[in-house]
Structure 1
Amino acid sequence: MTTETPRWYKSSYSNNGGACVEVATNLAPTHGTVPIRDSKNPTGPTLTIPATAFTTFITSIKTEDLGGTP
């Protein structure tokens, strides 16, 4: 397995409000996962989810289809 350094970024929509998460999508092609962390605690724990689940989540947000009742 190759060792890669996550390149963390947060959405430009975050407006530096402090309640943000950062993602490292650069690991998706080689590892098949997307790490997520709290931007206020960059040395804290990360949540790692499958890249396919992350893609589905982002697509749902963009299409405003989060599976809730209308």
Structure 2
Amino acid sequence: MKRVITFGTFDVLHVGHIRILERAKQLGHHLTVGISSDALNFSKKQRNPVYPERDRSELIASLKFVDAVFIEGGCRS
């Protein structure tokens, strides 16, 4: 089985996010998505995402072509 992994913040989910995740899934049998933690996002962009990591993770996990989701890096406060 070929596994594919991709990463992103996926804040304010839009059709571009959907399309890139669908294309990623087409590259293999299992798609895992790493969601940038709130802390990681802040460290890179100096601002917090609109939606918290838990909500963003839940949204991405609900997509039929996503097989697994995890929170990527960063410290939690």
TM-score normalized by the length of structure 1: 0.27
Larger Cα Rg: Structure 1 or Structure 2? 1
Greater relative CO (CA pairs within 8 A, separation 6+): 2
TM-score normalised over the length of structure 2 = 0.26
